[in-house]
Copies of this chain bind each other. A is one copy, B any other.
Amino acid sequence: MEAQSYKLLDGKAVSAQMKKEMAEEVVRIKAAGGKIPHLAAILVGHDGGSETYVANKVKTCNEIGFKSTLIRYENDVTEEELLGKVDELNRDDDVDGFIVQLPLPKHIHEQKIIEAIDYHKDVDGFHPINVGRMSIGLPCFVSATPAGILELLRRYQIPTRGKHCVVLGRSNIVGKPMATLMLQKAYPGDCTVTVCHSRSENLKEMCLSADIIIVALGVPEFLRGNMVKEGAVVIDVGTTRVPSTLTKSGFKLTGDVKFDEVAPKCSYISPVPGGIGPMTIVSLMRNTLLAGKKAIYD
């Protein structure tokens, strides 16, 4: 049997370390008589995924000593009510940052809600001002998943300058911002960046030439072993809930990478679960901390 040659990008361990660092900072802030960071979350309805995500966010706040507020609405909440609550949170000086868990029911104009959030408190980084500032390279709230991926690359000191980074997927919350960030004159960054998607004619060849592959398609086990060159770094952003009889919940989280085929070719690879998922939550916490400290905006 061959020895395992790849290293795991252990998002669980890194996020635990980051939580520890933030908890220590909260203790220091408290000791200095400062304000405890406060994250609020609006959750509409009872979607299983959304329930889990929001519960994890609240739990993580508790773990690191942030204040958190969960505001729940049923699926029949009106857009007006929701906008009213957003406005209230915008004006609440105690709330440093807040999120509206997506997706929202069809009768609510999601983009309208996002744009109603004061961008100074937009710790999800979805407001057009934060998206634009990120693209230009100005201080801003970077949305949590891309921020988490950057942090993971940074903590493992993965070389990026001049490398070819292929991003699979062009979503507004992962693919596009990830491409923009890996392109910036910064570390991590300074890559040649290629974005592929469902319409790409040459996706496999692109992947084969990549030093770093970030897969965010939401297609379970899309990336196969024959699409990856030796020594590549692979980041798996996929988290599809696939039915399973082996778990209590009745499903298991499945990534976009066929791990057993791809991992042996990699220098580094992030697993699912325990890779980008925990990094995402902890990055939202980091944004909240930055909001509390007024480190991005005055």
Neighbouring B residues of A229 by C-beta, 8 Å: none
Q: Is A214 an interface residue (CB 8 A)?
A: no
Cα(A131)–Cα(B199), bound, Å: 24
- Partner-contacting stretch, out of A93-101, A161-169, A263-271: A161-169
Neighbouring B residues of A195 by C-beta, 8 Å: 179, 183, 192-194
Q: Is A196 an interface residue (CB 8 A)?
A: yes
Q: Is A172 an interface residue (CB 8 A)?
A: yes
Q: Assess A201 versus B128: contact at CB under 8 Å? Given A176-B135, A194-B192, A195-B192.
A: no
Neighbouring B residues of A209 by C-beta, 8 Å: 202, 205
Counting chain A residues whose Cβ lies within 8 A of the other chain, the interface size class is 35 or more
Q: Pick the residue among B133, B176, B193, B202 that contacts A164 (CB under 8 A).
A: B202
**B162, A199: Cβ atoms closer than 8 Å:** yes
Q: Assess A176 versus B170: contact at CB under 8 Å? Given A132-B131, A195-B193, A202-B192.
A: no
Neighbouring B residues of A60 by C-beta, 8 Å: none
Q: Assess A206 versus B192: contact at CB under 8 Å? Given A135-B172, A161-B199.
A: yes
